[in-house]
Amino acid sequence: MRITVVGSGYVGLVAGACFADLGHGVVVVDNDHRKLIALRNGEVPIHEKFLPDLLSRYCGHRLTFAEDLKEAVRQSAAIFVAVGTPPTESGEADLSYVESVAREISGGIDSYKVIVEKSTVPVYTSDWIRKIILRNGTDPALVDVASNPEFLREGTAVTDFLFPDRIVIGCDGERPAAVLREIYAPMTGGSYYQRADSIPCPDRCKIPPPIIVTSTKSAELIKHASNAFLAMKISFINAVASVCESVGASVNQVVHGIGTDARIGPRFLNPGIGYGGSCFPKDIMAFRAVARECGYDFRLLDEVMRINEDQRQRFLRKVRSALWTVRGKRLGVLGLAFKGGTDDIRESPALFLVQALLQEGAKIVAYDPAAMDRAREVLGSNVTFVDSAYDAAHAADALLILTEWEEFANLDLNRLRSELKYPIVIDGRNLYDPEVMAAQGFTYFSVGRAASLPDGVPTSAVKNGKSA
């Protein structure tokens, strides 16, 4: 099938490449001329596993990049809208980009088309897209609007797309549903997974994935509700971690105890410095705004956001308690992206903490495997960027672990200790075992677990992460 994807951001570029891998002819449309030239030249603008392989494999024949949206629409049976929906000052989703695309799409409809929401949008957006298209003179018989929300995690977006837990298609008629079923047939029918050149299957995947057909409004709500629920799990376990620190319990043991309950599950029960990125913060505010418009005060979402913000402050207090004063201290920082596996720094709790520590007079030396170029644009010369975790630790008064990159969990502890001025590690991602760190000579602070001290240092020296 011939498909147009509007927008070459995280969602649009991954969707376009994956649709091409399924065997469709795809044109990705964007109005950023320089970005299109870079993509045509094989440059990959985001850090995403397997994406460079797919772009290299299909660019120029099965996957093309263009600026002319109307022409792309004329040649396509389905048009996926994957443009940004940033939050307004009130927290609502800014749908001006979606509206602009809808107006332009109307000029290219000369035969039956299915317009598919791929961006995360509030309920009723599909109705408005259809209204805008029809207001611009399109024959109602030639267009249907559907919702096909994405459930992609940055860093694993390609495998999340091709090996999803489920495929949700929201349609208000059988005709658009049939088009979307055909698009995903290589996955739901299983043929894609039988190919020798398919992307490797991750753990715990469902083959073939189930397809769930709903109304468009239900599909729009599914995406917001899913992200809100996952953010709630993160905030919940961070709140539990705070209680664990107060009473001397281990959050790891609590997570194991509740995560083995099939009704709860272990995923997204990882205590840390809070969620970030381009999805959870924005989508929770948008979902809250939708509920408010409907007359429902969704106060649970307010608390989810409050806990998330408080978790960053708690970590700052942990840093202060470990060092007494922050001003003038040299701090090694591992991680700037909002999570491991990506170079995205949007709403990154790591970046927030770095900026807060800079304001308190700390000297920051930072390393991230992928996000330093993007972070440099924000932090500039205020931070010293280095080429390895050990360079970040060199002569530092303490080392802060802020992003859960795999390489940060496998450091040579003897070398790390020798690089640090003082063997103090403050781990915001719980990558290490406190007992192991103490045995290796570190004073080690983490989240939801008691601070550990080197052998021979009395435990009374530290209580609940605070200097006694």
Q: pTM to 2 decimals?
A: 0.91
pLDDT of residue 462: 54
pLDDT of residue 183: 98
Give the residue extent of every domain in the chain.
Answer: 2-214, 308-467
- Give me 339's structure tokens: 């999570």
- Give me 423's structure tokens: 């063997």
- Distance (Å, rounded) from C-alpha 237 to C-alpha 254? 9
First to last CA, the chain: 67
- Distance (Å, rounded) from C-alpha 351 to C-alpha 320? 17
Q: Running along the chain, 468 residues long, what does each successive block of 10 average in pLDDT?
A: 96 97 98 94 93 95 96 97 90 92 94 95 92 94 96 94 97 96 97 95 89 96 95 97 95 96 94 93 93 94 96 96 94 97 95 97 98 96 97 98 97 97 97 96 96 69 45
The set of residues, in sequence order, having a beta carbon less than 8 Å from that of 59 and lying 6+ positions away, is 39, 40, 42, 65
pLDDT of residue 378: 96
Q: CA geometry: angle at 340 spanning 335 and 344, to 5°?
A: 80
pLDDT of residue 463: 47
Catalytic residue (one of 18, 171, 244, 279): 279
pLDDT of residue 458: 46
Parallel, antiparallel or unpaired: strands 462-463 and 466-467: antiparallel
pLDDT of residue 456: 53
* Same fold? 2-214, 308-467: yes
Q: Which overall architecture, per CATH, does domain 308-467 show?
A: 3-Layer(aba) Sandwich (3.40)
Give 210's DSSP letter.
Answer: P
Beta-bridged to residue 6, according to DSSP, are 29, 81
The set of residues, in sequence order, having a beta carbon less than 8 Å from that of 233 and lying 6+ positions away, is 267, 268, 269
The 10 Å Cβ neighbour count of residue 188 is: 16
389 touches 370 (CB < 8 A): no
pLDDT of residue 468: 35
Asked about 201 being catalytic, the answer comes back as no
181 touches 168 (CB < 8 A): no
In CATH, 2-214 is 3.40.50.2000: no
Q: List phi, psi (to 5°) of 390.
A: -70, -35
- Distance (Å, rounded) from C-alpha 363 to C-alpha 8? 37
- Written as one string, the DSSP assignment of 358-390 is HHTT-EEEEE-TTTHHHHHHHHGGGEEE-SSHH
